[in-house]
Amino acid sequence: MQTINVELGDKSYPIHIGPDLLTQVGLLAPLLGPTNVVVTDSHVAPLYLTALQTAVGDRLTDVVVLPEGEVNKNIEAVMKIIDTLTLCACGRDTMLLALGGGVIGDVTGLAAAIYLRGVDFIQLPTTLLAQVDASVGGKTAVNHERGKNLIGAFHQPRCVVSDIQTLRSLDQRQFRSGIAEVIKHALIADLEFFDWLEANMQNLLQQKPAALKHAIARCCEIKAGIVAHDEKERGPRALLNLGHTFAHAIECDSAYSWLHGEAVAAGLILASRLSQQLGFIERNTVERVRDLTAAAGLPVRTPEIPPEQWRAWMRMDKKSAGGKLRFVLLDAIGKARLEPNVPQARLDEVLLGAHL
Amino acid sequence: MQTINVELGDKSYPIHIGPDLLTQVGLLAPLLGPTNVVVTDSHVAPLYLTALQTAVGDRLTDVVVLPEGEVNKNIEAVMKIIDTLTLCACGRDTMLLALGGGVIGDVTGLAAAIYLRGVDFIQLPTTLLAQVDASVGGKTAVNHERGKNLIGAFHQPRCVVSDIQTLRSLDQRQFRSGIAEVIKHALIADLEFFDWLEANMQNLLQQKPAALKHAIARCCEIKAGIVAHDEKERGPRALLNLGHTFAHAIECDSAYSWLHGEAVAAGLILASRLSQQLGFIERNTVERVRDLTAAAGLPVRTPEIPPEQWRAWMRMDKKSAGGKLRFVLLDAIGKARLEPNVPQARLDEVLLGAHL
């Protein structure tokens, strides 16, 4: 087991990474409260709920099983959790345990953030995407019909337990979706890691334990380092959104038939192309990004979206300031920057060719 | 105009108190964003919306008018505000302006707390209750069918503008309801202020400007002092809930036909009686509390509620810890304490006589 700490003063917490952690009673027991409620979804429950129930033992108060999928990441899901918490008369010292992918972590985290003005929660991510990204850093949110993650809060978990054994049950599409966030972390902050990914993509896709553990740990280290300096995204944390302005538009436009990671993959390529258009990087850098994305079996093209529809979706981007979009772009592989001045014409050129 | 500062580091903000402040452009203009949305209710809109619209001028983006009343303080109201914000493509630099009583402040504050993981808001309280209590300190919340204020967040406003002129339009029942929170502040922290209230209750009820201004300012000073030391209610801030464990039960049980302040008045007397039962204060102290409450025209008895129903409502109290209720009690007028050990028998004695 490897442990990485997210340093946030009295909100600091550990991320534990390794095989068979779900059943390790010692990791969870010291954190449990007088009431403990597990939140999971209809896909994950049959796979891992029993293991977690065994670990929590007779301190388990109740279990909430939500319908799976991004379309269910909404305020109604949050209210369903809160209904159960009120029914069990859970107090401020309650512990929520989020067992599942990014959707379960986000929904449970938001419920924890607003129930009684804040109770504790633990992330137990069971997808690669959640283990390398969503479970770390305290961003919680649900979607609104007009945009993704528009309703949420910053609320740090007390602990993240990433059992890499759980990834074995992921279907290939879900697993590849997580790789997109791995590539993103390398692009933002670590050229050496990007080189390593180019050399080890097949090992990663085959879930070789050493490769898997290295990739997850490196992503968590990169993200923990950025979050520690800017918890509430007043500055550099926005870099973690590389590709996401495009990705959120693609997800919304597809009514979430595109997985988040698939949309991020296409978004990373669009961000690279826009960086090239603005003269920040060379064409061969864009090609390296596209080639690695393709090697992971991820989409390198977007669906065809009319320009005015792109603009409508992107207008809801949370990074916008003064009604103006701000983009995360690349200065090089391993070096991202926030760019407030992107001429509409340059952006349009990239968007018009996005599906080609 | 008198100004009191709430000292909370980079979240500090001023409370401005005085007549005709709603129309003072200079107070609001420096705080406005590129988009500015006013939230108010169907009772307040016809009275003061025009004045505020004039002050905000052409920087006003939209207005949300919610149905009035505590029964509408729910998550649906928050979502209605958020719908408007998404429709106007409001970004993180949006300013919300809460024009109304405690319900509007609480609902708007929670919408501001969770929209895009947090945008700014200004409190423009138009009721005595909101001016002396609800608008200060950053507690935001909505009700759940199983209990009051169960869903919320700590989210400080950027500024509070208390225009005492707006109190003139309050009906007598609403005005008296606010007096209950005034009495509460005196009971918690200031014997001299309690003495003053005993001497000046008629001036206050007649809304004599000097008396009104003194009472509002003194309450804000007391509350600001407590909140500055304990923003998130990890300790002494809980004292501000004197009478509220009882009050929330009364409000819920009455389906909110009791106004919050009316329930607080009855709750203050129950807290005093419980303090007497436990030997903390003398009978004559309870009588002073009851007499001042009666002089304000506030209820000194509760409705008849069966003991098991009392317990069911009180179990949802947010101050409970480890499934155990904690009460705010009095050591003297002007001195409150948090008491974790109240024998059920003592509590039952007080509750059984509550309606007599």
Q: Which residue do the tokens 């597990």 mark? A: A38
Measure the CA–CA gap between A4 and A7, rounded to whole angstroms. Answer: 9
Q: Which residue of A has its CA nearest to B325?
A: A91
Q: Which residues contact B208 (CB under 8 A, 6 or more apart)?
A: none
Q: Do B92 and A117 touch (CB under 8 A)?
A: no
Alpha-carbon Rg of chain A, whole angstroms? Answer: 20
Q: What is the mean pLDDT of residues B32-43?
A: 97
Residues of A in contact with B154 (CB under 8 A): 117-118
Distance CA A95, CA B234 (A): 17
Mutate to test the interface with A, among B151, B248, B324 (most CBs of A within 10 A): B151
What is the value of pTM for the model shown?
0.95
Residue A89: closest C-alpha in chain B = B316
pLDDT value, residue A325 = 83
- What is the reported pLDDT for B322? 67
Q: Which residue has the higher pLDDT, B219 or A317?
A: B219
Q: What is the pLDDT of residues B147-164, one digit of tens each?
A: 999 999 999 999 999 999
The CATH code that applies to domain B172-352 is 1.20.1090.10
Dihedral sign, CA of A117, A123, A126, A129?
Answer: positive
Catalytic residue list contains B117: yes
Nearest to B79 among A75, A116, A139 (CB): A75
Which CATH class, in words, describes the domain spanning A2-169?
alpha beta
Dihedral (Cα; B287, B288, B294, B296), 10-degree rounding = -170
Strand segments, DSSP code E, in chain A are 2-6, 13-18, 36-41, 62-66, 95-100, 120-125, 139-144, 147-154, 159-163, 327-332, 335-339
Facing B316 at nearest CB: one of A34, A89, A146: A89
Answer yes or no: is pLDDT of B316 > 90.
no
Q: Do B82 and A232 touch (CB under 8 A)?
A: no
B260 given a catalytic annotation: yes
pLDDT at A323 over 80: no
Write down the mean pLDDT value for chain B. 95
Minimum distance, in Å, between the CA of residue B164 and any CA atom of chain A: 30
Model confidence at A318: pLDDT above 80 = no
Distance (Å, whole) CA A174 – CA A127: 8
**CB–CB of B91 and A318 under 8 A?**
yes
Asked whether A98 and A105 are in contact (CB, 8 A), the reply is yes
Of the candidates B260, B329, B262, which has an alpha carbon nearest to the alpha carbon of residue B296?
B262
pLDDT band at A352 (very low <50, low <70, confident <90, very high): confident
Using the Cβ of B117 and the Cβ atoms of chain A, whether some distance falls under 8 Å is answered with yes
Position B355 pLDDT exceeds 90: no
Q: Which two tokens stand for residue A347?
A: 């952006």
Catalytic (active-site) positions of A: 117, 139, 181, 223, 233, 237, 241, 244, 248, 260
pLDDT of residue A322: 67
A60: closest CA of chain B, how far (Å): 14
Judged against a pLDDT cut of 70, whether residue A239 lies above it is answered with yes
Of B79, B114, B323, nearest to A114 by CB-CB distance is: B114
Residue B272: name the closest of B326, B219, B223, B328 by CA.
B328
Exposure string of B292-319, with b = 16+ CB inside 10 Å and e = fewer, is bbebbbbbeebeebeeeebbbbbbbbbb
Residues of B with Cβ-Cβ distance to A75 under 8 angstroms: 75, 79
Q: Do A115 and B151 touch (CB under 8 A)?
A: yes
Q: Could you report the per-residue pLDDT of B220-278, keeping only the tens digit for each?
A: 999 999 999 999 999 999 999 999 999 999 999 999 999 999 999 999 999 999 999 99
Beta bridge partners of A159: A122
| Least confident window among A59-73, A106-120, B18-32, B341-355 | B341-355
Catalytic residue among B72, B143, B149, B241: B241
Q: Say yes or no: B146 contacts chain A, CB-CB below 8 A.
A: yes
B176 flagged as catalytic: no
Query: Does residue B132 carry a pLDDT above 80?
Result: yes
Candidates B110, B315, B318; nearest CB to A116: B318
Report residue A74's pLDDT band, with 50, 70 and 90 as the boundaries.
Answer: very high
How many Å is the maximal CA-CA distance in chain B? 61
Which conformational region is residue A7 in: left (phi greater than 0), alpha (psi within -120 to 50 degrees), or beta? beta
Selected residue with higher pLDDT from B355 and A134: A134
Band of the pLDDT at B94, cuts 50, 70, 90? very high
A324 pLDDT more than 90: no
Amino acid at A253: D
Q: Mind telling me how many Å the CA of B114 is from chain A's nearest CA?
A: 5
Interface test with A, best of B116, B311, B316 (most A CBs within 10 A): B116
Percent of chain A with pLDDT over 90: 91
Binary contact (B153, A151; C-beta < 8 A):
no
- Which of the four CATH numbers 1.10.357.10, 1.20.1090.10, 3.30.70.3270, 3.90.1150.10 does domain A177-352 have? 1.20.1090.10
User: In this complex, do A118 and B322 lie within 8 Å of one another by their Cβ atoms?
Assistant: no
pLDDT digits (tens, 9 = 90+) for A214-226: 999 999 999 999 9
Average pLDDT of span A87-91: 93
How is chain B split into domains, by residue range?
A: 2-169, 172-352
On whether ipTM exceeds 0.90, the answer is yes
- Rounded alpha-carbon distances, angstroms, from residue A19 to A1, A226, B111: 7, 26, 41
> Catalytic residue among B260, B290, B318, B326, which?
B260
pLDDT digits (tens, 9 = 90+) for A149-188: 999 999 999 999 999 999 999 999 999 999 999 999 999 9
The answer to whether residue B338 scores a pLDDT higher than 90 is yes
Angle at Cα A258 formed by Cα A333 and Cα A192, nearest 5°?
A: 20
C-alpha dihedral (B255, B257, B262, B266), degrees to nearest 10: -50
Model confidence at B307, pLDDT cuts 50, 70, 90, reads confident
Q: Is B144 part of the annotated catalytic residue set?
A: no
Inter-chain residue contact B153 with A117, CB threshold 8 Å = yes
Give the A:B interface size as CB pairs under 8 Å. 100
**Mean pLDDT calculated for residue range A295-308:** 93
Contacts of B172 (CB under 8 A, 6+ apart): B297
